[in-house]
Each structure stands twice: as C-alpha cells, then as structure tokens.
Amino acid sequence: MDEQELKQGITKAVEDVRKTKPMAPSITNTVTVNFVANAQLAVGGAAAMVYLADEAEAIASISQSFYVNLGTMFDFYMDTLEPLSDYLHENNHKWVLDPVAAGLGQMRSQAIDYFKDKTPTIIRANATEILTIAEMWGLASNSKTKIRGVEAEDEVEEAKDAAIAIASYTGGVVAVSGKVDLITDGKVIVHSYGGSEMMENITGAGCSLAGVCAIYECVTDSLTAAVTASQIYNLAGKIASKKANGPGSFESEFLDCLYNLSSEDIANNKFEIEELDV
C-alpha cells in the first residue's frame, strides 16, 4: 500500500461510514462509556453497549466489528469476555481490543492471556500497555516498563518493536497512541501526526479512538480503519484545541470536529507510511 492508496482508502472509509451508519457494539469501561458512544455517533456510526454474555454474542452476530475495553473490570466480566472472544475468533469476526492498564491485577491479566490466541484484528493502546502485552505474551523481554494506572509511562517510539512483534503474532493491526500515533500490521508502519496536549486533559480520548477504529473497521480493512481513526482524531484534536478555553469546551469542540471535518481534509492530515523489511 502506498501513500496515495491509503489516502483514497481513508476518504472512502470516512464517506462510507457517514453513508451507511454501521453499528459496532462495545463492552467498555464505565468511566468513558458516554464519550465512546458520542464519538462513534459523531463520525457517523452507531453505538450499543452490552455487558452480559448472551447479549454480547447476539449483538456480535449482527455487527461487522466488536469493541472490547478492559478499563473497569467487574467480577462477572470473564463470563462474558471468554465466550465472546471464542465466538469472535471462531467466526473470523473483526474486533478491537483496548487493554487499558494491562498488567494491573489478576483478572485483567487473565483476560489478556485468554485473548492471545483470539485474533483481535486491532489492538489500540498506549505505549506502556503495548510493551506490557508483548511481555505477557512472550513476544519481547527485558521491557523496563512498570504499570501505574491507565496513563502511558513510555513514549510511542519505545513501543515500536513490541507493536511489530504483536502484529506479526496476531496477523492483525497494532495502533499505539500518544503525541504521534504509530500504526502497524507488521508489514508497514504508519505515523499519524497532529492532535493536542489537551487530549491528555480529558478522559476517554484513547477509549473513544478505539471505539471509532471499530466503526471504520465495519467498512474497510483493519489497517485503513486504524489509520483513518487516528487521522480524524489528530485533525479534530488540533482544530478543537485552537477553539477551546479548557477541557470542557475542548470536549464539545472535538465532537463537533469529528462530525464536520471533510473526508479530504482527514485524508490530507499529515501521515507517513514506511515499508518494513520482513
């Protein structure tokens, strides 16, 4: 894939979502659930949040991509997450994983271990979470990262090799967010630029970015979907930060940008694509 093909793919993904309004269901954390749904709606998709095992499988069967976010774990989650990820894997169903706070606690670790062979088609996370998963899955060692909570403790480029190793293992895409976003399928690396430091002053920029990846994944391949989500987030974040007076107005300006930006402007936001030697 070259830069021109990717630009065309981004433009088409943005337009197809606005035309066809695809629904991507989510099991997502209780902190940012409303922001995830609003971001999915703002880009033109539809949201549906579920928590029970029988509902998750039923709604997965009528969707093109499913979003799983581990932000706030509850006792009964494994009863849903294990059969759901079995179902997604067995049916070659696309799904996005946001492994929030990977490495924290026994139940979250059990979930991440379980997902290793359930082929998540996009893993979207911050650098610390990607470094942690690569280590948990035995794909990298000697990482010095230490989990503290839901925030990144490492720079995006430090997670580059871990991201490539995970993508090569799953056969899917890994998207690492931060000041510059890095997206890889193990064959190419895309860097998407823009955004704003203000995105660190609201909760859920990352959670909702992953939810929006699932929306774009309903209409295009996983690499194009993850790049399109980063491109719209980076342009919307940059423009919204110029209009906002603080985190409150930033959040609403940001949603307005997701809704209003043109597909051409989103595709023309700065990005670079580089082939990897494989």
Residues at the site binding ligand Cc1ncsc1CCO, with contacts judged by CB under 6 A: 29, 31-32, 71-72, 100, 150, 203-204, 207
Smaller CB separation from Mg ion, 194 or 206: 206
Closest of 107, 100, 101 to residue 81, by C-alpha: 107
Query: Shortest Cβ distance from residue 224 to ligand ATP (Å)?
Result: 16
Q: Of residues 155-214, which lie at the interface with ligand ATP (CB under 6 A)?
A: 177-179, 181, 195-197, 199-200, 203-207, 209
Is residue 175 within 8 Å of residue 123, measured between CB atoms? yes
Q: Is 45 assigned to a binding site?
A: no
Torsion of CA 174, 45, 102, 183, to 10 degrees: 20
- Considering only CA atoms, which of 224, 233, 223, 107 is closest in space to residue 170? 223
**Quick one: what does residue 233 bind among ligand Cc1ncsc1CCO, ligand ATP, Mg ion, none, with the CB cut-off 5 to 8 Å set by partner type?**
ligand ATP
For position 99 contacting ligand ATP by CB under 6 A, the verdict is: no
- Residue 171 among known ligand-binding residues: no
Instruction: Name the binder of 31 from ligand Cc1ncsc1CCO, ligand ATP, Mg ion, none, CB < 5-8 A by kind.
Output: ligand Cc1ncsc1CCO
- Locate 103 and state its tokens: 């490495």
Minimum distance from CB of 53 to ligand ATP (Å)?
25
Q: Is 267 helix (H, G, I), strand (E, B) or coil?
A: helix
Q: How far apart are CA 57 and CA 33, in angstroms?
A: 19
The answer to whether the beta carbons of residues 204 and 36 sit under 8 Å apart is yes
- Map tokens 């895409």 to a residue: 173
What whole-number distance in Å separates Cα of residue 231 and Cα of residue 265? 9
Q: Is 150 in the site for ligand ATP (CB under 6 A)?
A: yes
Interacting residue ranges for ligand ATP, rule: CB under 6 A: 100, 126, 150, 152, 177-179, 181, 195-197, 199-200, 203-207, 209, 230, 233-234, 237
